[in-house]
């Protein structure tokens, strides 16, 4: 019983440290870069390409443009949430499968 409690405390400490690091990674740039513009990589790439070649024309265009920046941001967040859900499902499934096969060996 003592070993399980120790493992649980270790896991809690690890999770708290990871949560703190995630918050720190998100907040520190906002604190130190007060007047920075946080644009997407597409905008930054377009600027750099036009610096190299002012006559550059994109070879494709979007099929559909979201009506507002908020909708675009929502769709990006939704895509990220679905992706993380798939990855986390895979990890959970793999861990459950490993536990089940470990239980069969005993």
- Max Cα distance, the chain (Å): 71
Q: Could you read off the pLDDT tens digit of each residue along the chain, which spans 106 residues? A: 566 777 778 889 999 999 999 999 989 988 888 887 777 777 788 888 989 998 888 888 888 888 988 898 899 999 999 999 999 999 999 999 988 888 777 6
Among 59, 93, 12, 87, smallest CA distance to 101 is for 93
Alpha-carbon span 4 to 37, nearest angstrom? 48
Q: What global pTM score does this model have?
A: 0.51
The token pair at 91 is 């990890």
DSSP state of 55: T
Q: Which helix (H) or strand (E) holds 11?
A: helix 2-32
């Amino acid at each position: 019983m003592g070993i399980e409690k120790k493992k649980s405390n270790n896991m809690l400490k690890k999770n708290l440290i990871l949560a703190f690091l995630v918050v720190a990674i998100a907040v520190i740039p906002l604190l130190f870069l007060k007047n920075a513009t946080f644009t997407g990589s597409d905008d930054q790439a377009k600027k750099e390409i036009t610096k190299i070649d002012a006559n550059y024309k994109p070879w494709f265009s979007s099929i559909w443009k979201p009506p507002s920046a908020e909708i675009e941001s929502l769709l990006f967040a939704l895509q990220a949430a679905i992706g993380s859900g798939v990855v986390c499902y895979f990890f959970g499934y793999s861990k459950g499968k490993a536990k089940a096969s470990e239980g069969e060996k005993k």
